[in-house]
Amino acid sequence: MSIQKPYHGKLLLGGEWVDDASRVEIRSPYDGALAGSHPVATAAHVEQAIKHAQVGFRFLSALPTYKRAEICRRASEGIARRGSELAELITAESGKPLQFAKAEVARAVMTFAIASEEATRMNGEILAVDLSPASETLTAHTMQVPAGLVAAIAPFNFPLNLVAHKIAPALAAGCSIVLKPAPQTPLTALLLGEILVEAGAGRSISILPMYVPQAEGMIRDERFAVLSFTGSARVGWYLKEIAGRKKVILELGGNSGAIVHKDAKLDWAVQRLAVGGFASAGQVCIKAQRLFVHADIYDAFVSNYVAAVKQLPVGDPQDPKTVIGPLIDETATIRVETWVREAVEGGAKILTGGGRTGVMHEPTVLENAPHNSKAWSEEIFGPVVTIESYKDFSDAIEMVNTSSYGLQAAVFVRDLGLARIAVKDLQVGGVIVNDSPMVRVDNYPYGGAKASGFGREGVRYAMAEMTTLKTAVFNQQGE
């Protein structure tokens, strides 16, 4: 697989482009083809970015809301215009199958469009404060004011739309932002930076590939008011410890469970959970990892599910039919292989898959994996699904909840009463009824419980995290 034209990016530093003779090459995890290259920010670059962000914040926060909305609208339009280029670059640097790269571009178009709309809806409320004779001459209202500078760190698996979910709400809310893209996939973020500069974001935005020491320095810096991080639980909770007084938004790992009850629409559940467990080689934090199927339909479900998984197209991510491409690197693939082996040694049975060649891991279904195995209890972030049966609905809910993570879960059930029980009792940030836990729409609140983090993404909800609620009180006696 080769990209038509490798993308050689520069550092985006307060709306200006900065180059450096020392460049890092980014190559496809699938076949090593050159995707492009980029410089790496130094501590001095980060310091310059912060100073630009301070100036940019004063500019952006003073803009009327309709002008911030226009910036986001122009960004949305720019992403749409350069959609083919962005999708090709996503596939080239991450190995994400092209069909999902195109879907990600479409989502990023929508994310900035939503931000454009939400920028004009950042409303407060009138408060009734005349609650006693002492306050009967008072009136009050609230307003959302931008919190300040945002430090953001994005992951490799959605190198465009998860970057958009940090930048779009920041710009809409009136906050300047310094973003560190993932080291595996920085090029897409830098290309987005071109679009944002054209859209008028100016000194309010910096996009800087950087190494860990520079990133830690940025997170510790008290000039930032907000930290928005998407990535592993281990790193996220560490960054929270060093973030000081910042507001912190953590969207961390998942270990999603899906319950298939005996009244479920079987063919639909099979179809949605096959794609939901293996799309993009399972490198999605809300992928279906653990399946719990009622004993009455277990044999039929397993037979159909394994057949469906075997039919999923595997291979070159540039092929428009491919569903399962490479993992991001061989280290990740070896880890997945090791976790599968550990589960099998503990008593799990491989129903399909199990093998690895380089960065390609076969789509693998494990039956009755031990609950203390990493393939069952941790976020595998690979093309592996575990499956087991249950008899009582309450037992299935308990097994889903037996996890340190709580991002999203799914339940396939036609009994509305049981669906409501699942929504109430599953200890997760989102419950998907009659679809895969991988479902996410970019305007709804998205985030988790327990080790999966706290705070919410979804444009309006991220804007709330990036603003501060201020109360204004007026005494009529002084007028």
Radius of gyration of the chain (CA): 23
Compute φ and ψ for 220, nearest 5 degrees.
Answer: -75, -20
Both tokens assigned to 178: 């310094």
Structure tokens at 413: 């059930």
CA distances for 466 relative to 117, 177, 246, 359, 469, angstroms: 17, 11, 10, 38, 10
Distance of alpha carbon 349 from alpha carbon 352, whole angstroms:
9
> Catalytic residue at 175?
no
- Residues 6 or more apart whose CB falls under 8 angstroms from that of 467 comprise 122, 144, 145, 146, 147, 173, 174, 175
Residues in Cβ contact with 335 at an 8 Å cutoff, skipping those fewer than 6 apart? 382
> CB atoms < 10 A from the CB of 372, how many?
10
The secondary structure of 174-207 as a DSSP string is T--EEEE--TTSHHHHHHHHHHHHHHT-GGGEEE
Active-site residue, selected from the candidate residues 93, 104, 175, 285: 285
Task: Please compute, for residue 218, the number of CA atoms within 13 A of its CA located in the half-sphere on the CB side.
Answer: 35
Q: Token pair for residue 333?
A: 């693939």
Of the residues 104, 118, 251, 337, which is catalytic? Answer: 251
The rounded Cα 36 to chain-centroid distance in angstroms is 24
- Cα distance between residue 382 and residue 84, in whole Å: 27
Look up residue 94 and give its two tokens. Answer: 């991450």
The structure tokens listed for 246 are 């910042």
Q: Is 285 a catalytic residue?
A: yes
Q: Are 429 and 135 in contact (CB under 8 A)?
A: no
Please report, for residues 147, 163, 196, 271, the alpha-carbon distance to residue 419 in angstroms, rounded to integers and kept in the order given: 39, 33, 42, 20
All residues at 6 or more sequence positions from 95 whose CB lies less than 8 Å from its CB, including other chains: 28, 29, 30, 281, 317, 325, 326, 327, 328, 359
Pull the structure tokens for residue 368: 């009755």
Residues with catalytic function: 251, 285
